[in-house]
Structure 1
Amino acid sequence: MSVVKPRKKNEEKPAQSGGRRSPCPVACTLDILGDRWTLLVIRDLLLGKARFKDFLASPEGIPTNILTERLKRLLEHEVVCQVRDAGGSRHLAYALTDKGTALLPVVRAMKDWGLAWEEGTRLGLVGD
């Protein structure tokens, strides 16, 4: 039988691998996508939006500082990448990587759930 030593009052918990709070795949996914804005940015990318100003024009009204942080996190986790703007301007745009595109079924499932269970939702968002 192994003896577990209690932690001292100010002693930190041991870090999980990769700085994650848990090895649970749901928790790890939520660490990247689990806030009120990130999946809306993914939705907009799936709908063809690519530039910072395009995301700001979405009806939910994401604040610029939050959008900046979410795009940075998605870049760090290789869910999106930066590309040259298709319109030929000097500005950079964002595109989903293969990892990001793999979220399409997740976003579609959330859309389907919302349509089935939340009154007042409507079609016309992702893959309709």
Structure 2
Amino acid sequence: AKATQVSSQNKSVPSLFTTSCFASGSLSLSLSAMMAESPSHSGAQLVTHQSPAQQTESDLASLVFEMSQQVQMGMENMLKLVNEIDQNSVGIKEEIEKSKDFAMEKKRVLEEEKEQFQKAAYTILDMLSNRG
């Protein structure tokens, strides 16, 4: 299979990088695999007149540039996700605090009702014991 060419800063880069490296989840790309798919080995004509070493260096520089661009985009996406998670966690923490406050208020009200019930019960017991 021939690799299609992608122009990046006036240099040709085989699409082998994007299809092989990220699809397989591996960033290992051998020089021989890249050279096998390069225009000088696939029969495509070069627009610039460069020696094979210069072309390989140019291809590698383009590949590194493209990889750094993709890594940067990935980092930006992760930063967006981290910010979204932070915003959601702030909302969740606020809800937890509201729930704690509500629970503490409910506990206070129940304690007051318990005390009133106990006072009433003791009053009734005193009344019954004084009758006899």
Higher helix fraction (1 or 2): 2
TM-score (norm 2): 0.29
Q: Which is higher, the Rg of structure 1 or of structure 2?
A: 2
